[in-house]
Amino acid sequence: MNSEELRSYCIQKKAVEESFPFDAETLVFKIGGKIFLLFSLSSSPVQFNVKSEPEIAIELREKFHCVLPGYHMSKKHWNTIICDGSVKDALIKEWIDDSYNLVYNGLTKKIKLEIDTLE
C-alpha cells in the first residue's frame, strides 16, 4: 500500500478529518477529534501508526515482522505498520478499520450521535 492509497482509504471513512498538527510531514487522521491513524509522508516504505487493543497489539507484533511497537506512541495501545509487502492490503485495511472502530467506540455518546447523523 502506498501513501496515496492509505490516505484514500482513511478519508473515505465516515466523519474523518485529516490534518498536519505536528509538522508538515506527519499526516494525521481523526474521528471525533481523536487520532486513529498517522503517518509520515517521507517514510519509504510507507509506515503508519494505528491503535489496537493491548492484547491484540502484542499478538500482531509476535505474528508479523512488519508490525512494531508504536513509534513515538504508547507502546501499549499503538503499533507501527510497515508496508513492506509482507502482508496483503486487505489485512492492512482490517487493522485500519479496527483502529477507527476502537477510537469511535471510545467517543462520548454525544459525539457518536453527531457522527451517526452525518450522511
pLDDT per position in the chain (119 positions), as tens? 999 999 999 999 999 999 999 999 999 999 999 999 999 999 999 999 999 999 999 999 999 999 999 888 888 899 999 999 999 999 999 999 999 999 999 999 999 999 999 87
Output the nine-digit C-alpha cell for 88: 496483503
Query: Is 113 a member of any domain?
Result: no
Query: Is 75 a member of any domain?
Result: yes
Residue 32 φ/ψ region, left for φ over 0, alpha for ψ in the -120 to 50 degree band, beta for the rest: left
For residues 30 and 70, is the Cβ–Cβ distance under 8 A?
A: no
Query: Is 53 a member of any domain?
Result: yes
Rounded CA separation 95/89 (Å):
10
Its pTM stands at 0.93
Rounded CA separation 10/75 (Å):
22
Rounded CA separation 101/72 (Å):
22
Number of domains into which the chain is organized:
1
Contacts of 105 (CB under 8 A, 6+ apart): none
Domain boundaries, position 10: 3-107
Query: Is 117 a member of any domain?
Result: no
- What pLDDT shows up at residue 73? 85
